[in-house]
Amino acid sequence: MQELRNRQQSARTNEQDNRPRFGIGHVSVPAANSGELADFYAAIGMRHIVNMGRMAIVELRGGTHIVFHAGEPGMSSLDLMVDDIDETHALLEAQGAAPSVIRRGSPHDSFTATDPEGNALVVHSSHAMGPV
Protein backbone atom coordinates (compact mmCIF):
# COMPACT_ATOMS: atom_id res chain seq x y z
CA MET A 1 0.00 0.00 0.00
CA GLN A 2 2.84 2.41 0.80
CA GLU A 3 4.41 1.67 -2.60
CA LEU A 4 1.13 2.69 -4.29
CA ARG A 5 1.05 5.96 -2.31
CA ASN A 6 4.67 6.67 -3.28
CA ARG A 7 3.90 6.12 -6.99
CA GLN A 8 0.83 8.36 -6.77
CA GLN A 9 2.81 11.11 -5.02
CA SER A 10 5.59 10.79 -7.60
CA ALA A 11 3.06 11.16 -10.43
CA ARG A 12 1.62 14.30 -8.81
CA THR A 13 5.00 15.94 -8.35
CA ASN A 14 6.67 14.89 -11.62
CA GLU A 15 7.36 18.14 -13.49
CA GLN A 16 7.18 16.31 -16.82
CA ASP A 17 3.65 15.07 -16.12
CA ASN A 18 1.48 17.18 -18.43
CA ARG A 19 -1.83 15.66 -17.36
CA PRO A 20 -4.49 17.98 -15.95
CA ARG A 21 -4.63 18.08 -12.15
CA PHE A 22 -8.23 16.85 -11.94
CA GLY A 23 -10.03 13.83 -13.27
CA ILE A 24 -13.54 12.59 -12.60
CA GLY A 25 -13.48 9.82 -10.00
CA HIS A 26 -17.08 8.61 -10.03
CA VAL A 27 -20.23 9.19 -12.02
CA SER A 28 -23.45 8.05 -10.37
CA VAL A 29 -26.17 6.49 -12.57
CA PRO A 30 -29.49 5.25 -11.12
CA ALA A 31 -30.62 1.91 -12.55
CA ALA A 32 -33.51 -0.52 -12.28
CA ASN A 33 -31.03 -3.40 -12.63
CA SER A 34 -27.48 -2.25 -11.87
CA GLY A 35 -25.86 -5.60 -12.67
CA GLU A 36 -27.41 -5.93 -16.12
CA LEU A 37 -26.57 -2.32 -16.95
CA ALA A 38 -22.95 -2.86 -15.84
CA ASP A 39 -22.84 -5.96 -18.08
CA PHE A 40 -23.96 -3.83 -21.07
CA TYR A 41 -21.19 -1.27 -20.42
CA ALA A 42 -18.61 -4.05 -20.00
CA ALA A 43 -19.77 -5.54 -23.33
CA ILE A 44 -19.09 -2.23 -25.12
CA GLY A 45 -15.57 -1.91 -23.70
CA MET A 46 -15.58 -0.67 -20.11
CA ARG A 47 -13.82 -2.63 -17.37
CA HIS A 48 -16.13 -4.50 -14.98
CA ILE A 49 -15.05 -3.81 -11.38
CA VAL A 50 -17.76 -5.23 -9.11
CA ASN A 51 -21.41 -6.29 -8.96
CA MET A 52 -22.83 -6.15 -5.44
CA GLY A 53 -26.48 -6.65 -6.34
CA ARG A 54 -28.01 -3.21 -5.74
CA MET A 55 -24.78 -1.53 -6.92
CA ALA A 56 -22.30 -2.28 -9.70
CA ILE A 57 -19.21 -0.44 -10.94
CA VAL A 58 -17.44 -0.23 -14.31
CA GLU A 59 -14.23 1.65 -15.10
CA LEU A 60 -13.40 3.93 -18.03
CA ARG A 61 -10.04 4.98 -19.41
CA GLY A 62 -8.26 7.25 -16.94
CA GLY A 63 -9.76 5.47 -13.92
CA THR A 64 -13.20 7.09 -13.87
CA HIS A 65 -15.82 4.78 -12.37
CA ILE A 66 -19.49 4.67 -13.27
CA VAL A 67 -21.43 3.58 -10.21
CA PHE A 68 -24.81 2.04 -11.06
CA HIS A 69 -27.14 2.03 -8.05
CA ALA A 70 -30.81 1.39 -7.33
CA GLY A 71 -32.96 4.24 -8.59
CA GLU A 72 -35.18 5.52 -11.37
CA PRO A 73 -33.69 4.45 -14.72
CA GLY A 74 -33.27 6.59 -17.81
CA MET A 75 -32.39 9.80 -15.96
CA SER A 76 -28.72 10.09 -16.97
CA SER A 77 -26.71 11.23 -19.95
CA LEU A 78 -23.11 10.19 -20.53
CA ASP A 79 -20.82 12.11 -22.87
CA LEU A 80 -18.05 9.73 -23.96
CA MET A 81 -14.90 9.97 -26.13
CA VAL A 82 -13.41 7.09 -28.14
CA ASP A 83 -10.44 6.58 -30.44
CA ASP A 84 -12.37 4.78 -33.22
CA ILE A 85 -15.84 6.26 -33.69
CA ASP A 86 -16.81 3.98 -36.60
CA GLU A 87 -15.91 0.80 -34.71
CA THR A 88 -17.73 2.04 -31.60
CA HIS A 89 -20.81 2.92 -33.67
CA ALA A 90 -20.89 -0.63 -35.06
CA LEU A 91 -20.41 -2.11 -31.59
CA LEU A 92 -23.28 -0.09 -30.11
CA GLU A 93 -25.48 -1.03 -33.04
CA ALA A 94 -24.68 -4.72 -32.44
CA GLN A 95 -25.58 -4.28 -28.75
CA GLY A 96 -29.00 -2.84 -29.65
CA ALA A 97 -28.26 0.74 -28.55
CA ALA A 98 -29.82 2.26 -31.73
CA PRO A 99 -27.03 4.71 -32.58
CA SER A 100 -27.83 7.73 -34.75
CA VAL A 101 -25.96 8.49 -37.94
CA ILE A 102 -22.41 9.73 -37.27
CA ARG A 103 -22.20 13.50 -37.67
CA ARG A 104 -18.80 14.34 -39.17
CA GLY A 105 -17.34 17.66 -38.09
CA SER A 106 -14.80 19.64 -36.17
CA PRO A 107 -13.33 19.25 -33.58
CA HIS A 108 -14.76 15.73 -33.64
CA ASP A 109 -17.28 13.33 -35.12
CA SER A 110 -20.18 12.26 -32.91
CA PHE A 111 -23.38 10.23 -32.59
CA THR A 112 -26.01 9.50 -29.98
CA ALA A 113 -27.31 6.17 -28.68
CA THR A 114 -29.38 4.81 -25.79
CA ASP A 115 -28.37 2.21 -23.21
CA PRO A 116 -30.77 -0.61 -22.17
CA GLU A 117 -32.34 1.52 -19.42
CA GLY A 118 -32.95 4.59 -21.57
CA ASN A 119 -29.93 6.68 -20.59
CA ALA A 120 -28.59 8.89 -23.36
CA LEU A 121 -25.09 8.26 -24.70
CA VAL A 122 -23.31 10.95 -26.68
CA VAL A 123 -20.19 9.50 -28.29
CA HIS A 124 -17.43 11.70 -29.75
CA SER A 125 -14.15 10.96 -31.50
CA SER A 126 -11.33 11.84 -29.12
CA HIS A 127 -10.12 15.42 -29.02
CA ALA A 128 -7.90 15.20 -25.95
CA MET A 129 -5.10 17.78 -26.02
CA GLY A 130 -2.39 15.50 -24.60
CA PRO A 131 -1.91 12.62 -22.16
CA VAL A 132 -4.94 11.93 -19.99
Contacts of 59 (CB under 8 A, 6+ apart): 46, 47, 49, 65, 66
Model confidence over 102-121: pLDDT tens digits? 999 988 999 999 999 999 99
pLDDT of residue 6: 56
- Quick one: residue 96, left, alpha or beta (phi over 0 = left, psi -120 to 50 = alpha)? left
33 SS3 class: coil
pLDDT at 22: 87
Going by C-alpha positions, the residue among 121, 128, 129, 50 that lies closest to residue 88 is: 121
| The amino acid at 110 | S
Q: Which long-range contacts (CB under 8 A, 24 or more apart) does 7-11 make?
A: none
Please name each of the domains of the chain with its CATH number: 25-125 (3.10.180.10)
Q: What is the reported pLDDT for 16? A: 72
pLDDT tens digit string along 70-107? Answer: 999 999 999 999 999 999 999 999 999 999 999 999 88
In tens, the pLDDT along 1-56 reads 566 555 556 555 556 778 788 889 999 999 999 999 999 999 999 999 999 999 99
- pLDDT on residue 14: 55
What was the pLDDT predicted at 4? 56
pLDDT, average across residues 55-74? 95
Closest CA to 69 of 82, 52, 92, 86: 52
Q: Are 71 and 23 in contact (CB under 8 A)?
A: no
Contact 24, 132 (CB under 8 A): no
pLDDT at 7: 58
132 vs 124: CA distance, rounded Å: 16
